[in-house]
Amino acid sequence: MEHWPTRQLWIYIDEGDSHRGRALSQRILAALRAAGCPGATVLRGVSGYGVHGIVHSDLIVDVPGHLPLVITCIDRADRIATVLPTLRELVTEGLIAISPVEVVQSSHREGGPFPRHLTVADVMSRDVARVTPATPVAELVGLLIDRALRALPVVDAEGRVVGIITDGDLLSRGATTLPLRLQQILPLGERAAQMAALEAQPQRAADLMTRDPITLPATTPLARAAAIMADHNLKRLPVVDAAGQLVGMVSRYDLLKTVAEGLRQRPEEPLRLADGAASTVGGLMDTGVPAVHRAMPLAETLDRLLETDKRRVVVLDDDQRVIGIITDGDVLRRAARRVQGRALQRLAGWLGGGARPEGVEIAAKGRTAADIMSSPVLTVTPETPTAEAIRLMIAHKVKRLPVVTPEGRLVGMIGRAALLRALGRGAATPPA
């Protein structure tokens, strides 16, 4: 095992020191954490004095905010050196010292891939849009589209979560006929027409929401959150405080991003998967992946696309190698450049599960799958480590990756849901 030079960092400041409206000690801890330092401690002095020679003590009534603080951590010398410029900018009045140290023993509690000290409160989104049970359908759909959201929590007068509205709720209860992902692609004029139609609808949030949704206390460990999401096949969950009031939303992406950030900060440490979790993509991938040949006529390609629940097909060349991917969003974006008005609305409605519009064969004549695919495509192999798949998804902000052989031939697909199931294994929800 390689041994790295180790240093102990000491930072001396006053308890009342601040930086841009936030306690300086918390700014320093955030900088150390962002740099990947495995741990840091803030020590509060009982008594002491600095360069001004004034003695402060917690035995004196009028000294709150003036007691000395010492922040210390032990880490590799190279990581300490990396964060040092940031610390120098933060500590304008105080002392920073570094001393060599010999680590005779270092151990930590084994766990899964999520840091044990983090809870959903540390990774959730706090600026959360919300509606009340009385919110009209046009207003809540406008909010979903304008902020590119996929779900809205519904809260009562005290801010407690009483429901949630998702894209699926809107479609299944007849509030909309077009998935939000397609509505967001429509030109502004077409989108305005859709919203005008909603203004006449009488439904309110209370009529459309799923009542009493699963929520997570803000203190929920990340591994537990991952297990709950995986068990219930949920993409995001409201986060509540002890009184049940909404304080945030946490998503699959938030959890996977936390794991990816840990991999970035500590590349020398392997991802510690829970017992039984697959260490490579091959043990997690879905093998039932719809695919079309690049020369398949466009009309047939669209039919195949609509046969799939995910509205997504992979495009292959003559040797069955992956060369592109087509989604319903790709089709609508490209169609918007060629057709407008009701023709575009009919196409969007068809992609959303409605009736097949007339003239599709004529409009698609002479065009093939290769003409509308997105290419090139980021891929992985069955031997790709689970950790690398997570890193790629987060770095490139994609939800799924085709899995190919070393020759590029399609064998499966890996998505965020499968990765989260692997990460949450072993932290399943206990029986009620």
* CATH code of the domain in which 187 resides: 3.10.580.10
pLDDT for 52 equals 57
Whether residue 48 is contained in a domain is answered as yes
One domain for residues 295 and 334: yes
Structure tokens, 361: 């064969």
One domain for residues 226 and 319: no
- State the average pLDDT over residues 264-283: 78
* Structural domain of 249: 120-265
Whether residue 270 is contained in a domain is answered as no
* Sequence-distant contacts of 165-168: CB under 8 A, at least 24 apart: 165/131, 165/140, 165/205, 165/208, 165/209, 165/210, 166/210
CA distance 3 to 416: 36
pLDDT for 247 equals 95
Last residue of a domain, one of 265, 299, 325: 265
CA distance 141 to 175: 9
pLDDT for 84 equals 94
> Higher model confidence: residue 268 or residue 203?
203
One domain for residues 325 and 418: yes
DSSP-derived pairing of the beta strands 210-211 and 18-19: unpaired
Q: Which of 89-93, 154-158, 189-193 shows the lowest mean pLDDT across its residues?
A: 189-193
One domain for residues 187 and 260: yes
The pLDDT confidence band at residue 112, using thresholds 50, 70 and 90, is low
Number of domains comprising the chain: 3
pLDDT for 86 equals 93
One domain for residues 62 and 134: no
One domain for residues 78 and 173: no
Contacts of 325 (CB under 8 A, 6+ apart): 312, 313, 314, 315, 373, 374, 375, 377, 402
Phi, psi of 198 (to 5 degrees): -70, -30
**pLDDT tens-digit readout, 60-81:** 444 445 678 999 999 888 779 8
pLDDT for 266 equals 76
Closest CA to 215 of 240, 233, 232, 235: 240
Amino acid at 366: G
Phi, psi of 298 (to 5 degrees): -60, -40
Question: What's the CATH number where 48 sits?
Answer: 3.30.70.120
Amino acid at 129: A
pLDDT for 383 equals 96
Whether residue 105 is contained in a domain is answered as no
Whether residue 272 is contained in a domain is answered as no
DSSP-derived pairing of the beta strands 291-293 and 246-251: unpaired
Contacts of 344 (CB under 8 A, 6+ apart): 186, 187, 190, 332, 335, 336
One domain for residues 149 and 260: yes
- State the average pLDDT over residues 30-34: 83
Is the predicted pLDDT of residue 335 greater than 70, yes or no? no
pLDDT for 415 equals 95
pLDDT for 342 equals 59
